[in-house]
Amino acid sequence: MCNIHKEKTDMIMKEILENMNLKKILSQKEGFKRFNILLCSIVIMGFAVAVFSFSGMGVDPFTAMNMSVSSILGIGFGFYQMCINGVLLIAVACAAKRLISVGTVVNMAGVGFVCEYFTGVLKALLPAADNLIYKIFLMIIGVFLLSFSASLYFKCDMGVSPYDALGMVMEEKLKLKYKWCRVFTDLVCTGVALILGGPIGVGTIITALFMGPVVSFCNGSISKKIIEHKYRILHQFTVIRYYDYTHFGTAYNR
């Protein structure tokens, strides 16, 4: 029994590592273009969370839960978010390993730290959000950018974050639309953050109820068009150099 379990685990890890082979991904058709869009989506996502938080109207449900727990534990938000994503990653690897790729790792390691960086920038450059209209304006920007970045991130088809994968696994197992699975997971996170005294606000509730549908809208109306058409001009002028470390001194241009 132990040998069977070990063989299954080894097989899962082998497939996951194969999916994360950056050299292979970049060599695929439009692989580098998709990788660039992935990086842009992570930056936008981190910025969106920072704007949302700066508005004082709450933050997205998953962030609210992580901020509340990290505050109680007395550790940095970026570090804690990376840790909780690591735990979720194990569960997703067992349920749907195909959803794990380079984008999964980039999201896990990047969003929290990008958010921390932009939070400092916003505090230094913008006046405090003490006006209701100003707060609502920032909240709307945050919610939209968060939904848009998530949609762009999904459409790259380079793996998704463990938390985003939860909704996709539920969609497959329960035969429900993704937007309703996302609403459910967001409401659970909101409930946990509320119990722990996290940064819950009107924006958190709005995100929990509407982010799923907005992401679905962006998938077909914005992100798909960007990936299929509008990014091609930039892609023509892009050059990447990466190294095959199994053959030292050998470089590849794309």
Q: Tell me the domain boundaries of the chain.
A: 34-232
Taking the model in full, what pTM does it have? 0.71
Q: How far apart are CA 179 and CA 210, in angstroms?
A: 9
Q: How far is CA 56 from CA 53, 202, 210, in A?
A: 6, 9, 19
Three-state DSSP state, 253: strand
Q: How far is CA 95 from the centre of its chain?
A: 19
Closest CA to 161 of 99, 223, 228: 99
Q: Tens place of pLDDT for every residue, the chain, 254 residues?
A: 444 544 555 555 556 556 555 666 666 666 777 888 888 889 999 999 899 888 888 778 888 898 899 989 888 877 887 788 788 888 877 777 777 777 787 877 788 788 888 988 998 888 887 888 988 898 889 888 988 888 888 877 777 888 888 888 888 888 888 778 888 998 999 999 999 988 888 888 888 888 878 888 887 777 777 777 644 444 444 444 434 434 444 444 44
Looking at the DSSP bridge assignments, the partners of residue 241 are 253
